[in-house]
Structure 1
Amino acid sequence: MPAREPLSVVIITYNNADTLERCLREVDWADDLMVLDSGSSDETVAIARRHGARVATHPFDDYGPQKQRAIDMALHDWVLNLDADEILSPGTRGVIEQALVAPTVAGYRLPRRERMFWGVQHRNSHRNGHLRLFDRRRGGMNHVEVHAAVEVDGPVRTLHAADFINDGDADIAARVEKINRYSSGLVANKLRRRQRFTGVRMVLYPPVFFLRQYLFKRYFLSGWAGFVASATGAFYVFLKYAKLYEARRSAHGGDDQPRV
């Protein structure tokens, strides 16, 4: 294979000993592993060092800024941005290495499969693409609360033959806890955007979301796990708009006048 661009993998961690081993095992071929820890009390740091990663520590303030710090600490300009509970699927290494031979784009999306409690999302269901492989000279993390993501200035391609698995949310309780935390974190952003028709969205969007996930994105291929994932996703959508509606009522004195 012709020479490719050198690659840094960046990961932020906090007490991720249960997933970090699998994550690093699939990327230890990279030219640089950068782990930015937030003060873990478990074996996270020891695992990172065992895989040859450079480890730095910085107190966690928010997801986006912490990720950007890790990106800035990378040794190389082409960066693969992963979470500590994300694992490259077999064969993805070769796809990434080929993409980094004289790249002509600013970044690449990688399809992601979700852990669905007792199983993993079926390969033939729809996999959302996430911009994770990019040239940091042309982009970085945006400033969206909770769901901060990479944005780049330039064209982006999707590596359809690549794949990675989000290995979080091992059970329904963990998913519901995350849903509650994330939906609260998004309220400030939605208030700033002055998002309208909150009540209508709260009523109509959850069932639409469920049908889109379960039928059109083919989550039904994952059996009951796909049904539960679609239902909890719809609940997440409901909570986002319910909490936004609640925040707006509180800002107006909590009266009973309807506001949509």
Structure 2
Amino acid sequence: MAREPLSVVVTTFNNVDTLGACLDSVRFADEIVVLDSGSTDGTRELASAKGARVHEQPFAGYSAQKQAAIDLATHRWVLLLDSDEALPAAAADAVARALDTPAVAGFVLLRREWVFWRWQPRRARLNHYVRLFDRSRARMSGHEVHESVVVDGPVRRLDAVLDHYGERDIAGRVDKANRYSSLQVRDRRTRRPSFLKARMVVYPTVAFLRYYLWRGHWRGGWAGFVAARVHAFYAFLKYAKLYERERSGGQRDIVGGAERGDE
């Protein structure tokens, strides 16, 4: 029996530096759909040269933009990638095999992170996300940030690891922390966390220890330490910005740093 045809879906904005490796890693797919939001660096031209079907629309937010890209796919089964991710050969084989007889509605893939100047250590915990799914039974969560695929049906973990190149330097990671913390405040327009000031004091330390010790990034030397510190700063910013909004009486919505970044 032939495998289910596959659409690979990628959203982009000025990602010419990483998109080529991403698209090269999924050449086995039956189609590649790229939805761009106004790139000026040759991203769309590169995607076309790599054989992708390229569309363009203004950025609608991370979740909505990805849903729009998914809706452009021709096939029922979709592999959703970020433009700075790539499938190693073993992961590509695992994805292709999974589509031979997909008895579930979606598959979870693990993701290995590039941390500044090195890959995360082998025994550090890997992030995991639903990325391969039957789009007739799935949708994006709708969150402003940390958006995810919500699947109506059983999900199984696939023996496949994505490579994520992410932020190549500390400045990029700090910029992302600032942008994402602002988007987290937008997500919580109608929800005020309890003990907000206590969270602002305590939670950054909890976030650091969880990332550095529990998730095992202490094995990554100084790269892991710096990443854990930035993660703690992100945790602080979320609650500090919520407190700022509260002190302003809700009159000042948090917008600084919330603009679109690289997809």
What is the TM-score of this pair, normalised by structure 1?
A: 0.92
Deviations 1:179-208 (CA, angstroms, capped at 9, x unpaired): 111101111222322322212222222111
Q: Indicate the residue corresponding to 1:131 in structure 2.
A: 130
> Contact 1:191/1:244 (CA < 8 Å) preserved in 2?
no
What amino acid sits opposite 2:180 in the alignment?
Y
Moved more, 169-178 or 245-254: 245-254
Q: Indicate the residue corresponding to 1:258 in structure 2.
A: none
What amino acid sits opposite 1:236 in the alignment?
Y
For structure 1, the residue ranges without an aligned partner over 5 or more in a row are 255-260
1:138-149 equivalences under 5 Å are 138-149=137-148
Q: Indicate the residue corresponding to 2:193 in structure 1.
A: 195
Rate the CA distance shift 1:252–1:35 in 2: closer, same or farther, 3 A. Answer: closer
Cα deviation for residue 167 of structure 1 reads 1.0
Q: Indicate the residue corresponding to 2:149 in structure 1.
A: 150
What amino acid sits opposite 2:210 in the alignment?
R
Alpha-carbon distance in structure 2 between the residues aligned to 1:168 and 1:224: 18
Alpha-carbon distance in structure 1 between the residues aligned to 2:103 and 2:226: 40
Alpha-carbon distance in structure 2 between the residues aligned to 1:190 and 1:61: 18
Aligned counterpart in structure 1 of residue 244 of structure 2, from 243, 246, 256: 246
Cα deviation for residue 252 of structure 1 reads 6.9
What is the TM-score of this pair, normalised by structure 2?
A: 0.91
For structure 2, the residue ranges without an aligned partner over 5 or more in a row are 253-263
What amino acid sits opposite 2:207 in the alignment?
F
Question: SS in structure 2 opposite 1:157?
Answer: strand
> Contact 1:15/1:40 (CA < 8 Å) preserved in 2?
yes
What amino acid sits opposite 1:82 in the alignment?
L
Once the two structures are aligned, what percentage of the paired residues are identical?
Answer: 53
Rate the CA distance shift 1:206–1:101 in 2: closer, same or farther, 3 A. Answer: same
Pair 1:210-2:208 in alignment: yes
Rate the CA distance shift 1:253–1:89 in 2: closer, same or farther, 3 A. Answer: closer
Pair 1:166-2:164 in alignment: yes
Alpha-carbon distance in structure 2 between the residues aligned to 1:231 and 1:238: 11
Deviations 1:24-45 (CA, angstroms, capped at 9, x unpaired): 1101111110001112111211
RMSD over aligned CA atoms reads: 1.6
